[in-house]
Amino acid sequence: MTEILTYDVLVIGSGCAGLSLASRLADQAQILVLSKVSLSSGSTYHAQGGIAAALDADDSIESHIQDTLTVGAGLCDLDAVMVTVESAKRNIEWLKDQGVKFTEQQADDGTKSLHLNREGGHSHRRIVHAADTTGKTVSQSLIDNVKAHPNITLLENHNAIDLIVNNKSRQRIQGAYLLNTVNNQVKSITAKIVVLATGGASKVYLYSTNPDISTGDGIALAWRAGCQISNMEFMQFHPTCLFHPEERSFLISEAVRGEGGKLILPDGTRFMQKYHPQQELAPRDIVARAIDNEIKKHGIDCVFLDISQQSPKFIQQHFPNIYQRCLALGMDITRQAIPVVPAAHYTCGGVVTNLQAQTNISGLYAIGEVACTGLHGANRMASNSLLECLVFAEIAANNIAQQLPSIPTPDFAPKWDNSLVSESDEEVVVAHNWDELRQFMWDYVGIVRTDKRLSRAMHRLEILKQEIAEYYANFHVTSDLLELRNLVIVAELIIRCAQSRKESRGLHYTKDYPEIDHSKTPENTILNPIRKA
């Protein structure tokens, strides 16, 4: 029998966005926070860099806005950028109130202030951080706070299967079906409001800095429910992922380049001066393409990032996590350069929202990496992502608090029907399809694209879609199957968006149209789902 539970607000995702919204809203609502694995399993926990905020005396909000617009390559929404940047200082103070301990520096007169790093695309030092484990520090504080609140229920090891939409009007979300990934039992959750805070979709690629759960679940859930999706062609590849067989997804923070790290070829030659005036501190898309080009041109496995000109004490104080992780693998970065390659890192597009974090379906909000707010445009500037999580979680929490009293409690949720399916006897199909999908996405829809590559990818995708749909219709759901089902949707959205953009802009680079199209006003790529009758 399917269990049915009712809450005011269902938050799907337990990263910075989901947990900060729950914390802000808990005094006004009964909240269920869903985590696919553990509360600390998402991308936030692994974030190294920090949170961008114009706090230095030589910096300004106007400069932060302009840097964001420049990196976004003409597609940022100015209002979204202004709202986010202007809210940065307030949200940093809120995190400090939640117990987050950021790295500080002491002046000659003994006064202390936040230490600020500089990262790619930024014209000033403005990255507030907790050494090189900012995400972990933020996550732990938020987790401690939500665990202590009586109005918040935390549900780990549960994966969202589908959103429940009002079956009469299809104009309002009523909840979701959840799969307990431990015993494979299904729950029906009804809620006045559902918030998607599921993170990104970089695991659609063979190589990624993201944790394994970054499978685009929220994007796929929203698409199937009838939401607009935008700008999925803009998948950000982080330039510097550690190249090592035992650590295939360990990120080397951009702050290493911000503190003087130089990109070099195996013979020690620097190369970024050939690609951009800001060299190693150029926007991520430029650095990633430069590294990709050098690797292909020279037929090498990787390039190297060298920060050994800094003192051992400086490196160990500023990058303790990176230092210890590399040391455990036999690399002393105080004396050796770090082997690095680009890897899929951040989803700049996603579920279209307004400036209140609302989607085009009533009762459904999206915050954090799953959402397309207009902040990032065609390319995300470093450390604007955690900031976006915080700002739009605050905005959404305030809006939901105003809306809740007038929203009736859903009185009906269709029961989950699995009476016509059976246990699979060929689960190897899921693993094989997953591997094939990630391989052709990396080969054909990666850092550099062409029309022919995109066409090849779509052809292979259509075959996979049919196989996965047939498999899903006939067998009991598992977490692996749900993730594969979602990844196929994400892959199709990326390919369709990429095929429709006949220019190179930001993170989307195609050899067939290598320049920005200046003949028309820059436009976002928006996909509208076909609603079922």
pLDDT classification of 88: cutoffs 50, 70, 90: very high
Residue pair 236/379 in contact by the 8 Å Cβ criterion:
yes
pLDDT value, residue 170: 58
Q: What is the pLDDT of residues 211-233, one digit of tens each?
A: 999 999 999 999 999 999 999 99
Average per-residue pLDDT for the chain:
93
Between CA 171 and CA 165 the distance in angstroms is 7
3-state secondary structure 360-427: CCECEEECHHHEECCCCCCCCCCCCHHHHHHHHHHHHHHHHHHHHHHCCCCCCCCCCCCCCCECCCCC
Q: 93: left (phi > 0), else alpha (psi -120 to 50), else beta?
A: alpha
Contact indicator for 253, 263 with CB cutoff of 8 Å: no
Which CATH number describes the domain made up of 428-513? 1.20.58.100
Catalytic residue among 284, 325, 380, 485: 284
For residue 169, is pLDDT > 60?
no
CATH of domain 239-343: 3.90.700.10
CA 117 to chain centre: 21
pLDDT at 97 over 90: yes
**CATH tag, 3-233+348-406:** 3.50.50.60
531 confidence band (pLDDT: 50, 70, 90): low
Taking the C-alpha atoms of residue 116 and residue 114, their distance in angstroms, rounded to an integer, is: 6
pLDDT score recorded for residue 168: 59
Percent of the chain with pLDDT over 90: 83
Region 110-122: mean pLDDT is 91
Q: How confident is the model at residue 377 (pLDDT cuts 50, 70, 90)?
A: very high
Q: Which one, of 160, 235, 230, 225, lies nearest residue 198 by Cα?
A: 160
What is the reported pLDDT for 89? 98
The pLDDT tens digits for 398-422 are 999 999 999 988 877 777 877 777 7
Looking at residue 167, what is its pLDDT? 63
pLDDT value of residue 533: 40
pLDDT at 335: 97
d(CA 28, CA 452): 53
Percent above pLDDT 70 for the chain: 97
Confidence of residue 104 (pLDDT cuts 50, 70, 90): very high
CA dist., res. 7 & res. 38, Å (int)? 21
Q: Where are the domain boundaries for CATH 1.20.58.100 in the chain?
A: 428-513
Name residue 7's beta-bridge partners. 191
284 labelled catalytic? yes
Can you tell me the mean pLDDT for 477-500?
A: 96
Domain with CATH 3.50.50.60 in the chain: 3-233+348-406
Residue 190 pLDDT > 60: yes
Alpha-carbon span 342 to 238, nearest angstrom: 5
| Predicted pLDDT at 49 | 85
Grade residue 495 by pLDDT with cuts at 50, 70 and 90: very high
Report whether pLDDT(357) > 70: yes
Please give the average per-residue pLDDT across 290-305, as a whole number: 94
**2-57: per-residue pLDDT in tens?**
577 899 999 999 999 999 999 999 999 999 999 999 999 999 998 888 999 999 99
Q: Mapping DSSP to helix (H, G, I), strand (E, B) and coil, where does residue 436 land?
A: helix
Q: Is the pLDDT of residue 450 over 70?
A: yes
User: CA-to-CA distance for 376 and 370, rounded, in angstroms?
Assistant: 12
Domain with CATH 3.90.700.10 in the chain: 239-343
What per-residue confidence (pLDDT) applies to 244? 92
DSSP secondary structure letters along 283-328:
-HHHHHHHHHHHHHHHT-S-EEEE-TTS-HHHHHHH-HHHHHHHHH
Cβ-contact 308, 267 below 8 angstroms: no
Does position 429 have pLDDT exceeding 90, yes or no? no
**Parallel/antiparallel/unpaired status of strands 112-114 and 104-106:** antiparallel
